[in-house]
Homo-oligomer: A and B are copies of this chain.
Amino acid sequence: MTNSHIMNNSQIIRSERRRKEHEARRRVILKAAREVFFHKGFMDATVDEIAERCRLAKGTIYLYFGSKEEIYISIMAEGMKLLGRELGRLKDIDGGDGMLVEHALSAYYGFYLKNRKYFRIMFLSSQPDLRARVSDDLLKDCMETARQCLGIVGDLVRKGIKRGIYRKVDPWAVANILWATVNGIIMSYEQDPVYREEIAGIELEKMLNEALGLVLNGLRAKG
């Protein structure tokens, strides 16, 4: 224990290691939580089961997360970050092949295919009962990532306008629309098996492509 707050080198190193261990353990918990939440949904999941699955004491969980809800939303944030990373790769696309937004859709869809389970969780985030028990910081973090994702899409649209591929539209609005459209379609699809099979009767990929075609058709500069 040092009396002063000035840390010497070895202390810095140690605290650095601490931080890393802390991060690592956090990830371990999140992994376990993901498995449980994915399997059981929020309400039916228990902190006990999460603790058991990562072989930690229940109390320990609460050293890393403030509440069950916070774990849940953290997973949501994680999902958002993953998506952000996927979209982040599109930054340098220049649209030389006439394809811009198409890549975004493709990236999103790819992410969905790899991380389907995250979606249900992301959709639940709007439940007021959940939000109430989560720190604003965490929620803002999510939102910030979402904004970044949108920003990337917006940039693509902007590029397209510059290059004369798209009509002159509000890139931000269009990004929002595209985002919401894709989300809406995937959600309809995820909603429930009955809907998927009996109502829609269309394959998800085909529907997404049609939707994109439609919007792009409207978006493309004429002539």
A binding-site residues for B, Cβ under 8 Å: 3, 40-44, 55, 120, 123-132, 139-140, 143, 146-147, 150, 169-170, 172-174, 176-177, 179-185, 187-188, 190-192, 194-195, 198-202, 206-207, 210-211, 213-219
Closest to A136 in B: B194
- Is A125's CB under 8 angstroms from B182's CB? no
Closest to A54 in B: B3
- Is A207's CB under 8 angstroms from B3's CB? no
- Is B180's CB under 8 angstroms from A146's CB? no
- Is B139's CB under 8 angstroms from A44's CB? no
Chain B nearest CB from A92 CB (Å) reads: 24
Q: Report how far A129 CA is from B191 CA in the complex, Å.
A: 13
Contacts of A185 in B (CB 8 A): 176-177, 180-181, 184
- Is A43's CB under 8 angstroms from B127's CB? yes
Since A150-B199, A177-B210, A183-B187 are in contact, a sample of 18 more A-B pairs with Cβ atoms closer than 8 Å, ordered by chain A residue number, is: A41-B129, A42-B127, A43-B129, A44-B129, A120-B126, A123-B123, A123-B187, A126-B191, A131-B192, A139-B192, A140-B194, A173-B210, A177-B214, A180-B211, A181-B184, A184-B185, A214-B219, A218-B218
Chain B nearest CB from A179 CB (Å) reads: 7
Contacts of A199 in B (CB 8 A): 143, 146-147, 150
Q: Which of B41, B125, B213 lies in contact with A128, CB distance below 8 A?
A: B41
- Is B180's CB under 8 angstroms from A187's CB? yes
Contacts of A131 in B (CB 8 A): 192
**Contact flag A194-B127 (CB < 8 Å), given A183-B188, A202-B172, A214-B218:** no
